[in-house]
Each structure stands twice: as C-alpha cells, then as structure tokens.
Structure 1
Amino acid sequence: MPERVMPGRTDDLITLGAAETLWVDLTADSAVPTASGAFTRSPAHPQAGYVLLGGHTVATVRASGGRWSVPKAEVWRAAADLNAVGMDRQDLVRIGPFRGAPRQEYSDETSLCWRRRITCELQELGSPERTAGREEDRPYHLAGIDWRQILVERTHDGTRRTWWLPRAVVRLLDAAEHTEKQWVQAARARRATAAVTGPLPHPRQAPNDDGRRTTSPKGPTAVLRPYNGELSGQLYSVLSRKPGTSRRVAEWVCAVCRTAPATVLDHCHEHGYVRAPVCQSCNTQERPDHLYSNDIRVAGRYTRLFDTDAVDWLRHWHRCPGCRARTTLPLPHLAAWTAHTACRSLRPTHRDPRGSRGRKPCGVLRVSWTGSQQAPRSCLLTVSVDFCPSGEHRVLAQVPYREAADRFRIWLAETAPTVAAAAGPDRLDDLPAQPRPVITDTNGEGLALF
C-alpha cells in the first residue's frame, strides 16, 4: 500500500497508468467503491485537459513525447476527500427510470451527465447483471466511482423496474457534474479572452523532461454562495418563467444540506411560493412516497425529516409564507408526520424473527386521507399498518385534519422554537384566499414536487 495522503507533498507528475494504480490503492478502504479506469476509460478523456475524480477535477498535462500525466498531489487530494465520505447503503435515492422524463443532453462524449449514462446503459443491456458481460466497450465508472457495485434495482408490480443509488454517491456525482460545468465555462472564457488579447499566462505550468514548461488548463474551484432568502415570497409560477433562473440557481449551495450545489427550486405546491434552491438529493428526500394521490407510505427517510434533521427541514418548509402563516405543513407532509410522530406509540411490535431478544416495529406504516386541506372539517387522516406478519393491525388511528394540525403546532414549538416563533396567522396578510390543490401526478420526473 502506498503511503496515505499527507499535506506538503510535491506537485510532481505521474503517468495516467500510475495515477490509476494510486487512485485505487488510496481509496481501497473508502466506503464508496472506486474503479481502476478512472483516467483512461470512458467517460474520462485526458485530452480535454482534466479528469473527474469524485467531486474534483484533476488537471492533465501533456509532457514531452505526447505523454499525458497528472499532478500526483491532486490525485491524493481527491482520494482524501472521497475517503472522508460516509455512505449509508440503506439511504437510497431513485435515479430512474421516470415516465415522461425530459432527455438530458450533453455536448460531447466527455460530459459526465451521469443520470443519462446510467439510464442508457441499463436500458440497453436490460439489467445490471448483463452490464458486466461487455466490460471492454462499456463504461463502468463515473468520476472514478464504480456505480455498478452499489446500484440497487427494485421491481414494482412484477414488471416495472426502478434504479437506486446511495444518497452520498448521488451527491458526489451531482458535485462532479457541477464542477465539470464550471471548468468548461472557465476554459471557454479563457479561449475567448485569448482570441481577443492574445495568450495569457496560465496559473499552472508543468515541467517537461527537458526542463521546458508546458501549460495545462486548471479550472477554478467553484465557489457557491449560501442561500440567504433572496427568493423569499416569490411565486414559483412567475420565477420559473424568467430567463436565466436555472443559471442563477446553480450559483447557490443547497439550502438544506449546505454541501452540494443547488440544481432545482423547491416550492410549495399548495401555496405556490418558492422555498429555496436545493440539490437533487435533498429534493428527492423530501418527496412523499405516494402510493396514490391521497395515500403515502411512511418510508425510512422520515426519520431524518422529523427526527435527526428535523430543525433544518422545518425551517425549510416554513420558507413558504403560506405554511409559515398557518403554522402547518403541506397535507402530504402533515399526514406523514402524523403517522411517523404523533401515532408512533400506537404502532405494535413483534418479536424479532432472527432470534434476538428485542422486538421490531410491525410492518410498514401507511397514511391516507379523505377530503382536502381546503375543507378542514371534512379532512380525515387514517393511519394503518401494511405487511403485518400475522395479518393484524390494519387501522391504528383516524385523526381529523384540525387535530393533526394542532398536534403539529405543539410539537413544532417543542422541537424547533425559533421556527415556531416566526410562524403564526399574523405574520403575513397577502396570502391567497385558498390554497391550491395538491398535485397528484407523481410519476414524472418532477423532482421539485412538494
């Protein structure tokens, strides 16, 4: 094993083959599996001036004799950052396929566009297992990450397949895409400037074997600015139509996790207000797990939404002036909160079948509702248990909407006092007279849903 990443290393050059060996050795103990073809196999393209490793761009240098090399220190730095990533294999994000999804475009074979690459690969080969049969002509890594080892395939209704990756990997690949776009934009700007003013000195120069200096494009590190409520109170229907909105969103860091670049504008579908720019991972995590338009399954991610990361998510939801003024959540989220939190004590347990002395919660929680938040008196939430081993425990509770909202207000004041203090009916006067109905079509790639 080579020595681990240490500060102060000299920025000497190594060949692509040596860099691949170094990358695999340095990341051997990483939670995220890596691949050996990170520098030479598609979609890596050293001639473009860089190679993606995780969320990093590593500059490539053409030395004497036409041989491509990379700075050793940059490989070490990328490996150190990847090794610091923790990955929960149970915390998954669906990456496709989505019905009616718009085609993701990329300009040439070097662009990462990882979602499209995985989708095309799996749709053509039919299944992840068949991917291994054509290793010689098929990419099996993305930004140096071996995605095939961690891809999860699920089947719904016996026919419809869906693909999932751990959330940590989705964030890494999203960061890699963002970094690549920043690099390409900077390179184009340099070329345009050079065409007008002539060649400019470049910040990175690498020595050749004969002592001469050869320039290598080194893209600037993208500096994302934190979101500070610049879009507060704006309607999504208006803002989404303005030119340049997508480019503006990409300049922010995700307002929830505050680590990944933002890619979409999350907004409240009941009131129509923009909440904040968020990354794909956080936007997917927030999306209710719909079975039908008025029926959701309370998935494991609600532990984060209402337990471990509750304050961050409550603050995010209450960026909508409508939800903040009414001190509540959109109906699907309020339903999930009622089942997960308010009715937690009602969920039965069974002896663990694996033989341990402990007990495990029964089945899977599901909550449905009749009526609408527009008519609170007639809206009723029904919490039940699916997949009980003994066929028992169908309906646990029926909670009127107003009672659920009152319970939530009490819990909010105890869990996030600062969020609760900013809420209330006297906080805003220009709300719409009636909230919009909840959007029911959850089959498309509308990842900004809820």
Structure 2
Amino acid sequence: MGDNGLPGGLAWEEFVAASNRYRHTRNMGGTRLLELLTWSGKQWLLPRAYIEFLDRWALREEQLVDQARVCSSCGIKGPYWGGWRSSISTGYVTRCPPCSGAAFRSYAGHLRGVQYDSARRRGTRPDDYLSHLCKERQAAVWDHCHEHGYVRGPLCGSCNNRECKSLPYRFLQSGGTQHLLERHSCLEQRTLPPRFRLDVVRTHLEETERHGRCRTQPYAELQQEDPNGGHQFTLTCRWHSPSRWTKDVTASEAAMLVRAFVDAVQAPEEDPATVSPASDS
C-alpha cells in the first residue's frame, strides 16, 4: 500500500482505470462504489447510508434465493446449491423431482433417428418431458448431434449446459454416455462424437502410461492430429516434471479404445442377488 492507501502507490485516477478494466469490479449492487470512497488520511471510508443500502440489498438477495428454492407445486424447499430451479420456454420455474415426475413424461426415444430440422421434431414440445439426463427437471430444449443432426432427447437448461461445457470424460462418467448413444448410428458403430472420442483416448493414456517405474498418473495433452485420424499426445509426469514423452495413437487404435469404452457402458450390471456364493471347498 502507498501513502494514499491504494495498492502499489497508484494515483486515484490510475486506481479507477485499473479497477474499471474488469466488469465485475465496476459496481456493487448497481452502484458505482469507487466514486463514493473518501480517504481519511488513514483509511478509506464509505457513507453510512451506502453501507445500510448494501445490507438491505444483501438481505433482499437472500430472500429471493430462498423464494427460488421453493417448489411451485408442493411448497417444500430445495437445496441451496444445485437446486430445482430451471429454465423453460416461458421463463424459470422451481419444481422438486417428485412433482416434476408426476407432471411430465419420461422420454422413451420416440424421436431416435429423426433429424433435428424435421417437421416431426418441430411438432413435439420438449417441455412436455422430463430431462433425459437428470430425469428431475422439466426439459427446455431438444438436444441433437451437431455432427449429423439427429435428435438425442429433451434436456433441461442445466443438463444442456453440462453436456456442452463440462469436461468430456467427466460428462461420460456421470451418465452422459447413454444419452450420446441416443443417436442411433453412434450406437450401431459403437462410437461417440469427436470431442468425446478424443477424451476417451486421452484418459486411457493417463491411466496406462507411466514415466519409467513412477506410479504417478501423467498428464496427457493432444499435440497434433494427422490427416488419417491418428493422434500424437504429449505426456508429462506430474511427479518428475519436466519429464515428458510422446505417444502416437493410430486411428484404428483410437476407434478400438472408444468401442471398448462404449461396450463397457452398455454391458448390463451384474445383479448381486443372482451371483452364486463361492463354495467353501
């Protein structure tokens, strides 16, 4: 801090210019915070009325959050994080999973193999269904394969964002693989969309490759892709950094890894009740 209480000894004009560089620091509660500051010679002060306004604003925000957690059908309050509020075609709604299950139908795959732009899809509303992924919220959109244009199923806004923005392998591990396989040709060919295929291969390398006898899982990063569909990855040992090496994966090897992943997901889980106990002999 400088003698004027500002970081780095900045002049007031320099401090305002630096703070306005980032949108989230420009205001608070819709007010211009910096313009209200006063330097007392020892510390920066804010008007008492402004502090009281911020307290009322924070209280009202908490009240609105609490209201948004209440199911519009049965009135019970949902969790603070990862709540039941979701976007629909007419705005936002809060509805608990049991009420959503009672009000909307589960998607049974009746649009599998149908193009997103077809009249058949346009005649069916996604908000008549539960989200095909979480099965807890009313759907808002028809998700579809951007590579081939086929409908996958109805998704709520949260699930749609999760598919687009979450880490690919994390999405696959959290139940997303079955949803992606709703595109029938993916299921028939035992494959996945390109960005998910790449992440299956990358994760396999991290699980199987090691730096010598080191047991630490390395970090794999795509280095380049050849015209024939092969990939070259750079692997970095997380323990013996900067130890690095490359690994080439051919197109056929990548396809085999993806097929094995899809087959593992499709394999029926063994019911423990049907497993015969081991003999004592």
Shorter-chain TM-score range: 0.5 to 0.7
Residue 67 of structure 2 aligns to a residue whose secondary structure is strand
- Cα distance, 1:347–1:230 mapped onto 2, change above 3 Å: farther
1:413 maps onto 2:280 in alignment:
no
**1:299-378 alignment, distance < 5 Å:** 299=167, 302-306=169-173, 309=174, 312-341=175-204, 343-346=206-209, 361-362=217-218, 364-367=219-222, 370-371=225-226, 378=228
Q: 1:229 aligns with which of 109, 113, 137?
A: 109
The corresponding residue for 2:67 is: 52
Question: Deviation at 1:386?
Answer: 6.7
What is the distance in 1 between the residues matched to 2:194 and 2:229? 10
**1:113-124 alignment, distance < 5 Å:** none
**1:385-400 alignment, distance < 5 Å:** 385=235, 390-395=241-246, 397-400=247-250
1:285 maps onto 2:162 in alignment:
yes
Matched-pair identity in %: 22
- Cα distance, 1:180–1:174 mapped onto 2, change above 3 Å: same
**How far does the alpha carbon of each residue in 1:285-323 deviate from its partner, in whole angstroms, 9 at most, with x for none?**
22367xxxxxxxxx4x624523xx3xx322211110221
Alpha carbons 2:162, 2:171 under 8 Å: kept: no
What is the distance in 2 between the residues matched to 1:361 and 1:238? 46
- Cα distance, 1:221–1:343 mapped onto 2, change above 3 Å: closer
What is the distance in 2 between the residues matched to 1:268 and 1:341? 24
Question: Deviation at 1:333?
Answer: 0.9
Q: 2:141 aligns with which of 264, 273, 292?
A: 264
**How far does the alpha carbon of each residue in 1:422-441 deviate from its partner, in whole angstroms, 9 at most, with x for none?**
xxxxxxxxxxxxxxxxxxxx
Kindly name which structure, 1 or 2, has the bigger radius of gyration based on alpha carbons: 2
Question: Deviation at 1:408?
Answer: 2.2
Alpha carbons 2:177, 2:265 under 8 Å: kept: no
Alpha carbons 1:275, 1:316 under 8 Å: kept: yes
Question: Deviation at 1:225?
Answer: 1.4
Alpha carbons 1:386, 1:394 under 8 Å: kept: yes
Higher relative CO (Cα under 8 Å, sequence separation at least 6) belongs to: 1
What is the distance in 2 between the residues matched to 1:221 and 1:235? 27
Runs of 4+ in 1 over 6 A off after TM superposition: none
Alpha carbons 2:230, 2:254 under 8 Å: kept: no
What is the distance in 1 between the residues matched to 2:149 and 2:254? 22
**How far does the alpha carbon of each residue in 1:147-202 deviate from its partner, in whole angstroms, 9 at most, with x for none?**
xxxxxxxxxxxxxxxxxxxxx25x63548954279xxxxxxxxxxxxxxxxxxxxx
The corresponding residue for 2:60 is: 37
What is the distance in 2 between the residues matched to 1:335 and 1:225? 34
Using the size of structure 1 for normalisation, the TM-score is 0.38
What is the distance in 1 between the residues matched to 2:150 and 2:135? 21
Question: Deviation at 1:380?
Answer: 1.0
- Structure 1 or 2: more helix by fraction: 2
Unaligned runs of 5+ in 2: 1-57, 270-281
Alpha carbons 1:305, 1:313 under 8 Å: kept: yes
Alpha carbons 2:69, 2:85 under 8 Å: kept: yes
Alpha carbons 1:236, 1:272 under 8 Å: kept: yes
Question: Deviation at 1:410?
Answer: 2.7
The corresponding residue for 2:93 is: 179
The corresponding residue for 2:277 is: none
- Cα distance, 1:327–1:180 mapped onto 2, change above 3 Å: closer
Residue 383 of structure 1 aligns to a residue whose secondary structure is strand
- The residue type paired with residue 112 of structure 2 is S
Residue 179 of structure 1 aligns to a residue whose secondary structure is strand
- Cα distance, 1:394–1:224 mapped onto 2, change above 3 Å: farther
Question: Deviation at 1:237?
Answer: 2.7
- Cα distance, 1:223–1:408 mapped onto 2, change above 3 Å: same
What is the distance in 2 between the residues matched to 1:232 and 1:414? 22
Residue 265 of structure 1 aligns to a residue whose secondary structure is strand
Alpha carbons 1:366, 1:383 under 8 Å: kept: yes
Residue 249 of structure 2 aligns to a residue whose secondary structure is strand
- Cα distance, 1:361–1:36 mapped onto 2, change above 3 Å: farther
Unaligned runs of 5+ in 1: 1-34, 45-50, 59-72, 88-167, 182-219, 290-298, 352-358, 373-377, 420-450
- Cα distance, 1:328–1:249 mapped onto 2, change above 3 Å: same
Alpha carbons 1:178, 1:261 under 8 Å: kept: no
Residue 129 of structure 2 aligns to a residue whose secondary structure is coil
Alpha carbons 2:190, 2:259 under 8 Å: kept: yes
- The residue type paired with residue 191 of structure 2 is T
How many residues of Structure 1 are paired with residues of Structure 2 in the alignment? 206
**1:157-196 alignment, distance < 5 Å:** 168=82, 172-174=85-87, 177-179=91-93
Question: Deviation at 1:342?
Answer: 5.1
Using the size of structure 2 for normalisation, the TM-score is 0.58
- Cα distance, 1:222–1:348 mapped onto 2, change above 3 Å: farther
- Cα distance, 1:270–1:252 mapped onto 2, change above 3 Å: same
Question: Deviation at 1:249?
Answer: 0.9
